[in-house]
Chain A
Amino acid sequence: MSSKNPLRSPIGKKLVTGVTGLGLVVFVFIHMTGNLALFTGNEAYNQYTHFLTSLGGLLYVIEAGLVAFFLFHIVNGIQIWLGKRKARPVGYDTYKSAGSPSQQSASSRSMIITGLILAVFLVVHVISFKFGPGGPGNADPAYVTTIGGEEVRDLAKLVRENFASPFYTFGYTFVMLLLVVHLRHGIWSALQSLGAMRPSLTPLVYTIGAVVGVLIGAGFIALPLAIYFNLI
């Protein structure tokens, strides 16, 4: 009974953006809480990152899944955006939102922009941390430390060095604020895309979406600022 290619249909595209979007929310949430380990000291942080790299094969599986989620999310997001330009080639002279119950906002209108900036950031971020000094294919004795007699990568050192730079610190902070903007619309939108919204839950879900977005952003921003201002 299903159409030729259900996942390419208008609804399928939303299911894919929604599932991958929520998956990425779970990922960034875990990533954010992991980062906070640095607040309790370099050793705790290095232990945590060492635990991740010691997962070996499982880590590759998780990473491959993440790459797939990002790619599907980005491709569908771009397609929805291209489709909307085709669907209204001539715009209005005057256009404004009719207001509540509309959820149209700077956040909902800028998903493609915040999303693309996040994508560029992601590449820079992975290059400078994961593949930075001491990382895979970039062995560097200056970024090795020992925990309980075992040699592990001193990622804490790299994090502290990078966030000593104002450019890196405030650039990172800015992009994390954009992530909050992306999630302000993204979280409730994903639930709506998956058909999980009920009118009786609407105000609650809007609130939860915004709160979770802000929590994730705040968690990410706390660390670089704390390092930059020598608080930890």
Chain B
Amino acid sequence: MAENMNIKLKVWRQAGPHTQGRFETYSVPDANPHMSFLELLDVLNEQLIKSGTDPVEFDHDCREGICGSCGVVVDGVAHGPQRRTACCQLHMRHYQDGDTIVVEPWRAEAFPIIKDLVVDRSAFDRIIAAGGYVSINAGSAQDANNLPIAKDKADLAMDYAACIGCGACVAACPNASASLFTAAKISHLAMLPQGSPERKKRVTAMVDQMAEEGFGDCSNHAECEAVCPKGISISSIATMRREYMKAMLS
């Protein structure tokens, strides 16, 4: 087919958490512009299986940009070159026949590699477990106007709630900081009446857990916002800092 592309993939291979990894370069002659980036990896894996080689492990689930399972660094950018797009929604039409693409796992001490491109993101779960929830049963959905919430607040809370927990913010941050993830959750809950009563306890517990997990501190590079598939703003980080100061002073 005329549209066929030959893509070279330079992929990080690592057999297990404690083994030495290395890059392997593979050619995928049957790529085409309609494929998603993960489909390209599927095609590569079929090739590898046929040739008796272990397929490349990578995380994925919904493949529609909503679950947060996928995530690799593509040519030096978390989730690849398309803004506000998880790598499952990146398509090969962004590439040319003959291109070489470098694929690496998220790199952070707090995200240890399990195999190949799969990292252990349970540090995020522990940050949430430290306080990223409302501890009472807030009941089922209320009558729309029972609990008035200003439109701008509701919108902002929704923007922050859009975090899918993929970890791209950590991967892209020069400091491997988890500030955007943690701040998105803290800001989202602080903005709504259900989350407000526990806001002080929540911000200190989650920030302490974030430090505990070995993420770096934030240097305000704002690289996280640029790679976030949901475009979550670093204004959430400013909000988290205000929340923290309020908690400190009480």
B109 and A87 contact, CB distance less than 8 A: yes
Q: A5 CB to closest chain B CB, in angstroms?
A: 10
Number of interface residues of A (CB under 8 A): 49
In the complex, residue of chain A having the shortest beta-carbon distance to the beta carbon of B182: A10
| CB of B194 within 8 Å of the partner chain | no
Instruction: Please encode chain A, from 113 to 130, with 1 for each CB lying within 8 Å of some chain B CB and 0 for all others.
Output: 000000000000000000
Instruction: Give residues 1-39 of A contacting B (CB, 8 Å).
Output: 1-4, 6, 9-15
Residues on the B chain within 8 Å of A9, using CB? 204, 207-208, 211, 244
| CB of B239 within 8 Å of the partner chain | yes
Compute how far the CA of A32 lies from the CA of B36 in the bound complex, rounded to whole angstroms. Answer: 56
Compute how far the CA of A145 lies from the CA of B174 in the bound complex, rounded to whole angstroms. Answer: 54
A95 and B238 contact, CB distance less than 8 A: no
Q: Contacts A80-B175, A96-B76, A96-B77 given; indicate if A189 touches B204 (C-beta within 8 A).
A: no
| CB of B133 within 8 Å of the partner chain | no
A80 and B110 contact, CB distance less than 8 A: no
| CB of A162 within 8 Å of the partner chain | no
B235 and A83 contact, CB distance less than 8 A: no
B238 and A102 contact, CB distance less than 8 A: no
Residues on the B chain within 8 Å of A15, using CB? 241, 245
Q: A185 CB to closest chain B CB, in angstroms?
A: 8
Q: Which among B73, B175, B233, B247 has the greatest number of chain A C-beta atoms within 10 A?
A: B175
Residues on the B chain within 8 Å of A99, using CB? 226
Q: Which among A1, A6, A11, A99 has the greatest number of chain B C-beta atoms within 10 A?
A: A11
Instruction: Please encode chain B, from 87 to 122, with 1 for each CB lying within 8 Å of some chain A CB and 0 for all others.
Output: 000000000000000101001111000000000000
A2 and B204 contact, CB distance less than 8 A: yes
Q: A204 CB to closest chain B CB, in angstroms?
A: 14
Residues on the B chain within 8 Å of A179, using CB? none
Q: B107 CB to closest chain A CB, in angstroms?
A: 6
Compute how far the CA of A80 lies from the CA of B177 in the bound complex, rounded to whole angstroms. Answer: 11
Q: Which of the 9-residue segments B1-9, B62-70, B141-149, B217-225 touches chain A?
A: B217-225
| CB of A151 within 8 Å of the partner chain | no
Q: Which of the 9-residue segments A43-51, A104-112, A134-142 touches chain B?
A: A104-112
In the complex, residue of chain A having the shortest beta-carbon distance to the beta carbon of B10: A93
Q: Which among B23, B81, B237 has the greatest number of chain A C-beta atoms within 10 A?
A: B237
In the complex, residue of chain A having the shortest beta-carbon distance to the beta carbon of B79: A98
Compute how far the CA of A4 lies from the CA of B211 in the bound complex, rounded to whole angstroms. Answer: 12
| CB of B60 within 8 Å of the partner chain | no
Task: List 10 A–B pairs whose Cβ atoms lie within 8 Å, in order of A's numbering.
Answer: A6-B204, A12-B248, A83-B216, A86-B216, A87-B175, A93-B102, A97-B77, A98-B172, A185-B220, A193-B220
Contacts beyond the supplied A4-B208, A80-B216: 10 A-B pairs with Cβ under 8 Å: A11-B240, A80-B175, A83-B175, A83-B216, A86-B109, A87-B109, A100-B226, A102-B221, A108-B219, A195-B241
10 nearest CB pairs, A to B = A87-B216, A102-B226, A84-B175, A195-B242, A195-B241, A87-B176, A94-B76, A98-B226, A96-B76, A103-B222
Query: Could you list which residues of chain A lie within 8 angstroms of chain B, going by C-beta atoms?
Result: 1-4, 6, 9-15, 79-80, 83-84, 86-104, 108-109, 111, 185, 188-189, 192-199
